[in-house]
A and B are shown apart, each in its own frame.
Chain A
Amino acid sequence: MDNAEASFYLSQFIGKNLRIHTSDNRVFGGQMKCTDKDRNIILALTYEYRAPPEAEIKKAVVDSGNPSTAVTWDSRYVGLVVVPGAHIRKIEFEETGFGKSRVIL
Chain B
Amino acid sequence: MAEPQLGHAATSNNVVPVDGPGSSKEASSASIGLPLRQAMKQPVAEIKIHDITDKFTRACSALEVGQLVKDEYFTLFESIGALEIMDPKMDSGFLQPGEASEDDYDTLGALLPEELIGIMDQLLCYEMAWHTGYPLSQTLFTSVYIDKLLWPEPKVLEQAQFYRGEITDDKRPGVLLEVLRAYCLALVKCCDFAIARITSRDYFEEEDFCTHTYNRVLFVQVPMNVFQRELDASVERLQDGTEVEINPILRDAIVARLQFRKDFLTALDLDVPIDHLEAHWQPLLDGLTTITTTQQLGKTVPGSFSLKIQRRLASTVPPRPIVELDSADAFSKLKQLITDCKEATRFPSLPPDPIEYQNFLWAFASRTPTPLPYSRSYLANLLFHESSISIPLADMRYLVFPASPILDPTNWTLSPPRNPMLPKPPRLQLAILIDDFIDRAGQPYLEFWTALGQNRCRLRRMLNHVISAWDQLQSDAGVVDEDLKNVIGQMNAEGQVLDYPLTTWVYHKKLWMMEKAVLLGFEQDIYLPDEYAGMYLFLNNVSRKRKDLLLTVKSDFNNRLSQLRSNKSASGLQKAKEVQDGLLYIDSLLAETTATLELGLALGKFYVALLYLDLIPRPKRPFGSEQCRYELRMKNFLNLHPSEVTEFSEFNNHTKPFGPYEKPDTDEVDYTKDKIFKWMANPTFWSGMEEHVRRAKEACSLLRKLGPQAAHAVGVREAWDKEVQSTMASCVALGVAVLGLKLAAGAEGPRGITIEFPTGGQGKRYHEGWVVGKVIKV
Return the CB mask of B712-747 against A: 1 if under 8 Å, else 0.
Answer: 000000000000000000000000000000000000
Return the CB mask of B29-62 against A: 1 if under 8 Å, else 0.
Answer: 0000000000000000111111111011111111
* Nearest-Cβ distance from residue B704 to partner chain A, whole angstroms: 59
Q: Which of A10-28 contact B (CB under 8 A)?
A: 10-11, 13-15, 17, 19, 22-28
B50 touches A92 (CB 8 A): yes
**A33 contacts across to B, CB distance below 8 A:** 70-71, 74, 79
Q: Given the complex of chains A and B, what is the CA–CA distance between A17 and B246 in angstroms? A: 58
B85 touches A83 (CB 8 A): yes
B79 touches A34 (CB 8 A): yes
B83 touches A93 (CB 8 A): no
Q: Which of B15-31 contact A (CB under 8 A)?
A: 15, 17-18, 20-21
* Nearest-Cβ distance from residue B90 to partner chain A, whole angstroms: 9
B52 touches A19 (CB 8 A): no
Interface residue B195 (Cβ < 8 Å from any Cβ of A): no
Ranked nearest first, the 10 interchain pairs of A and B with the lowest CB-CB distance are A79-B316, A6-B62, A34-B70, A6-B59, A77-B314, A10-B69, A39-B60, A37-B63, A97-B45, A95-B48
**A91 contacts across to B, CB distance below 8 A:** 51-53, 56-57
A93 touches B47 (CB 8 A): no
* Nearest-Cβ distance from residue B372 to partner chain A, whole angstroms: 30
A87 touches B10 (CB 8 A): no
Of all chain B residues, which has the CB nearest A31? B18
Q: Given the complex of chains A and B, what is the CA–CA distance between A81 and B85 in angstroms? A: 7
A76 touches B52 (CB 8 A): no
B68 touches A72 (CB 8 A): no
Q: Given the complex of chains A and B, what is the CA–CA distance between A11 and B17 in angstroms? A: 20
Interface residue A96 (Cβ < 8 Å from any Cβ of B): yes
Return the CB mask of B84-120 against A: 1 if under 8 Å, else 0.
Answer: 1111000001110000111000000000000000000
B69 touches A71 (CB 8 A): no
* Nearest-Cβ distance from residue B491 to partner chain A, whole angstroms: 68
- Across the interface, B49 reaches (CB within 8 A) one of A19, A54, A88, namely A19
**B56 contacts across to A, CB distance below 8 A:** 9-10, 13, 39, 91
Interface residue A82 (Cβ < 8 Å from any Cβ of B): yes
Interface residue B315 (Cβ < 8 Å from any Cβ of A): yes
**A24 contacts across to B, CB distance below 8 A:** 86, 94-95
24 CB contacts below 8 A, A to B, read A1-B59, A9-B55, A9-B56, A13-B52, A27-B10, A34-B71, A35-B69, A36-B60, A36-B69, A37-B64, A37-B65, A38-B60, A48-B93, A57-B6, A61-B5, A68-B8, A71-B9, A71-B13, A74-B101, A75-B14, A80-B83, A90-B53, A91-B52, A96-B45
Interface residue B440 (Cβ < 8 Å from any Cβ of A): no
* Nearest-Cβ distance from residue B73 to partner chain A, whole angstroms: 9
Interface residue A67 (Cβ < 8 Å from any Cβ of B): yes
Q: On chain B, which size bracket covers the interface?
A: 35 or more
A80 touches B50 (CB 8 A): no
* Nearest-Cβ distance from residue A53 to partner chain B, whole angstroms: 7
Of all chain A residues, which has the CB nearest B99? A24
Q: Given the complex of chains A and B, what is the CA–CA distance between A68 and B7 in angstroms? A: 10
**B4 contacts across to A, CB distance below 8 A:** 68
Q: Given the complex of chains A and B, what is the CA–CA distance between A78 and B5 in angstroms? A: 25
Q: Given the complex of chains A and B, what is the CA–CA distance between A11 and B47 in angstroms? A: 21
**B6 contacts across to A, CB distance below 8 A:** 25, 51, 57
Interface residue B207 (Cβ < 8 Å from any Cβ of A): no
A94 touches B17 (CB 8 A): yes
**A61 contacts across to B, CB distance below 8 A:** 5
Q: Which of B338-357 contact A (CB under 8 A)?
A: none
| Tally of A interface residues using CB under 8 Å | 76
- Across the interface, B15 reaches (CB within 8 A) one of A27, A76, A87, A93, namely A27
* Nearest-Cβ distance from residue B135 to partner chain A, whole angstroms: 15
Q: Given the complex of chains A and B, what is the CA–CA distance between A22 and B69 in angstroms? A: 21
Q: Given the complex of chains A and B, what is the CA–CA distance between A47 and B12 in angstroms? A: 16
**B10 contacts across to A, CB distance below 8 A:** 27, 49, 51, 73
- Across the interface, A76 reaches (CB within 8 A) one of B48, B64, B66, B215, namely B215
- Across the interface, B93 reaches (CB within 8 A) one of A11, A26, A87, namely A26
Q: A1-B58, A24-B94, A95-B47 are in contact. Are A77 and B69 (CB under 8 A)?
A: no
Interface residue B78 (Cβ < 8 Å from any Cβ of A): yes
Of all chain B residues, which has the CB nearest A98? B45
Of all chain B residues, which has the CB nearest A74? B312
A73 touches B93 (CB 8 A): no
Q: A91-B52, A96-B47 are in contact. Are A57 and B17 (CB under 8 A)?
A: no
B315 touches A82 (CB 8 A): no
B61 touches A76 (CB 8 A): no
Interface residue B67 (Cβ < 8 Å from any Cβ of A): yes
A7 touches B63 (CB 8 A): yes
Q: Given the complex of chains A and B, what is the CA–CA distance between A12 and B84 in angstroms? A: 24
B52 touches A37 (CB 8 A): no
Interface residue B2 (Cβ < 8 Å from any Cβ of A): yes
**B78 contacts across to A, CB distance below 8 A:** 80
Q: Given the complex of chains A and B, what is the CA–CA distance between A88 and B46 in angstroms? A: 26
**A62 contacts across to B, CB distance below 8 A:** none
Of all chain B residues, which has the CB nearest A20? B85
* Nearest-Cβ distance from residue A94 to partner chain B, whole angstroms: 6
Interface residue B82 (Cβ < 8 Å from any Cβ of A): yes
Q: Given the complex of chains A and B, what is the CA–CA distance between A36 and B316 in angstroms? A: 23
Interface residue B1 (Cβ < 8 Å from any Cβ of A): yes
**B68 contacts across to A, CB distance below 8 A:** 34-36
B9 touches A76 (CB 8 A): no
* Nearest-Cβ distance from residue A31 to partner chain B, whole angstroms: 7
Q: Given the complex of chains A and B, what is the CA–CA distance between A78 and B57 in angstroms? A: 25
Interface residue B81 (Cβ < 8 Å from any Cβ of A): yes
Interface residue B313 (Cβ < 8 Å from any Cβ of A): yes
* Nearest-Cβ distance from residue B69 to partner chain A, whole angstroms: 4
Of all chain B residues, which has the CB nearest A56? B102
- Across the interface, A92 reaches (CB within 8 A) one of B51, B79, B86, namely B51
A92 touches B49 (CB 8 A): yes
Q: Given the complex of chains A and B, what is the CA–CA distance between A73 and B234 in angstroms? A: 35
Of all chain B residues, which has the CB nearest A60? B9
B67 touches A93 (CB 8 A): no
**A68 contacts across to B, CB distance below 8 A:** 4-5, 8-9
B9 touches A70 (CB 8 A): yes
A57 touches B2 (CB 8 A): yes
Q: Given the complex of chains A and B, what is the CA–CA distance between A30 and B74 in angstroms? A: 15
Q: Given the complex of chains A and B, what is the CA–CA distance between A48 and B94 in angstroms? A: 11
Most chain A CB within a 10 A radius of its CB, from B69, B312, B313:
B69
Q: Given the complex of chains A and B, what is the CA–CA distance between A25 and B100 in angstroms? A: 13
Q: Given the complex of chains A and B, what is the CA–CA distance between A17 and B62 in angstroms? A: 22
Q: A24-B95, A68-B8 are in contact. Are A78 and B69 (CB under 8 A)?
A: no
**B47 contacts across to A, CB distance below 8 A:** 94-97
Q: A29-B15, A42-B79, A105-B55 are in contact. Are A51 and B9 (CB under 8 A)?
A: yes
